[in-house]
Structure 1
Amino acid sequence: MKRFECGTLVPGCDWHTRAEEEAEVVRRAVEHLKVTHGEEIIRPSMVDHIKERIRNDQSQTA
């Protein structure tokens, strides 16, 4: 499971997401940045910043 916490990119934001695939985490993060933070253009460098902050999530619950 992969996890992204928006606060690592946008200080003060509590939003986070988890998914099995990194691509799905990136997709959700991009959508969040557009809807919540008003980003109209997501440049490749922003996708790189998201990917750099994705972590393996070991706290899976049954």
Structure 2
Amino acid sequence: MKRFDCGTLVPGCTWHTSAEDEAEVIRRSVEHLRTSHGEGIIRENMVENIKERIKDEEKA
């Protein structure tokens, strides 16, 4: 299980998501950035920043 905590990218945000595969975690995270943080354009470097912060849930 993979997990992303938005607060590791956007200080103060308590949102997180978990999924079996990294692609689903990224999809959910991008949607969260759009709806909750007003990010209209998600650049490749933002996706890379998300990928760098995804952890195995057992280790999180």
Do they fold alike, i.e. is TM over 0.5? yes
> What's 1:24 paired with?
24
Larger radius of gyration: 1
Q: Distance in 2 between matches of 1:38 and 1:53?
A: 20
Q: Distance in 2 between matches of 1:14 and 1:35?
A: 15
**Aligned partner of residue 48 in structure 1, secondary structure:** helix
Any unmatched runs of 5+ in structure 1?
none
Any unmatched runs of 5+ in structure 2?
none
Q: Distance in 2 between matches of 1:47 and 1:10?
A: 13
Length-normalised TM-score, structure 1: 0.93
The ranges of structure 1 where at least 4 consecutive aligned residues each deviate by more than 2 angstroms after the TM superposition are none
Q: Distance in 2 between matches of 1:2 and 1:45?
A: 20
Question: How many residues are matched?
Answer: 59
Root-mean-square deviation (CA, aligned residues, Å) is 0.9
